[in-house]
Amino acid sequence: MPKDSSGALTPGKLSPMRQVPTEIVRPEYVGRPGPKPHEGGDRYDEETIVRIRRASKIAAQALSVVLAAAKPGITTDQLDVIGHEFLVSQGAYPSTLGYRGFPKSLCSSLNEVICHGIPDDTVLQDGDLLNIDISAFFDGVHGDTNGTVLIGSASQELELLVERTREAMLRGIRAALPGRQVNIIGRAIESYAKRFGYGVVKEFTGHGVGPSFHTGLIIPHTDDPEYDTIIEPGMVFTVEPMITLGTADWDMWQDGWTVTTKDKKHTAQFEHTILITEDGPEILTEA
């Protein structure tokens, strides 16, 4: 993602798609235009939850490894290699690789990229803001997580954006109590973010996750009463708000994946996969 004359990011050069050892089991959507429709709802039995815990732990470890390597001078493609090789070393398949044609093993979203940035030959620079979104498919289920870091030194404005975006995610998670509607999650996130004049992206939401990468369950990040699914014990889903310094309006690049803020101001995101228990939410992707 080099920059144009105005300083906005532009697409960089992609390396070939990475290979996964044949002995590692692929998700059903690999090699197909898209996934099969999810069946079976969003509540899981204990055996499935045990497997989701394992996949989520691998994803969390992968995220930690990649973020630790995110320093000035490294390319986002090199970070993709690190994430890919870690997942494969654990016997896990990178969930994004081949999902609806996505060509890489993680998403790298830099500065004004809201989500789904494709790793390329872009070199990280001092003062950049980078989100890494990485997922693991292991033993038939997925774990999904992401986090944002500052590269080198950064302004207080960006430090606060990152800190407050993480807090917004945690407030959304804490609101996810059994018996409530899922819209309470978005209400908690948006009300907090609006205190600081931030934008909250509405169109890209959290989702159910487990045997399917995306189950069809929508978890809003804004106060949206139309999403009225009741939160129940045994549910597993992600909470992953995207918070912007300016407008929440966005553009999509011609690659069909990379989403940027329309005003090209910076944005941050954090994500956890959570399990709903009788006592409330449990984070499964804690490192």
The pLDDT value recorded for residue 93 is 99
pLDDT at site 5? 55
What pLDDT score does 7 carry?
73
Mean pLDDT by 10 residues, the chain (287 residues): 71 97 98 95 97 99 99 98 99 99 98 98 97 99 99 96 99 99 99 98 98 98 98 99 98 97 98 98 96
Return binding residues for substrate: 116, 214
Nearest Cα to Cα of residue 246 among 161, 186, 148, 126: 161
Q: Who's near 146: CB < 8 A, 6+ residues apart?
A: 63, 107, 131, 132, 133, 134, 240, 269, 270, 271
Binding-site sequence positions for a divalent metal cation = 133, 144, 207, 240, 271
* 52 in Cβ contact with 210 (< 8 Å): yes
Q: Which class in CATH covers the domain with range 46-283?
A: alpha beta
**pLDDT tens digits for 212-227?**
999 999 999 999 999 9
pLDDT at 147: 99
Q: Give pLDDT, residue 1.
A: 61
Residue 4 confidence (pLDDT): 61
- The strand pairing partners of 136, in sequence order, are 94, 143
Phi, psi angle pair for 188, to nearest 5°: -65, -40
Instruction: For residues 272 and 144, give the distance between their C-alpha atoms in angstroms, rounded to a whole number.
Output: 7
| Domain-wise residue ranges, the chain | 46-283
List binding-site positions. 116, 133, 144, 207, 214, 240, 271
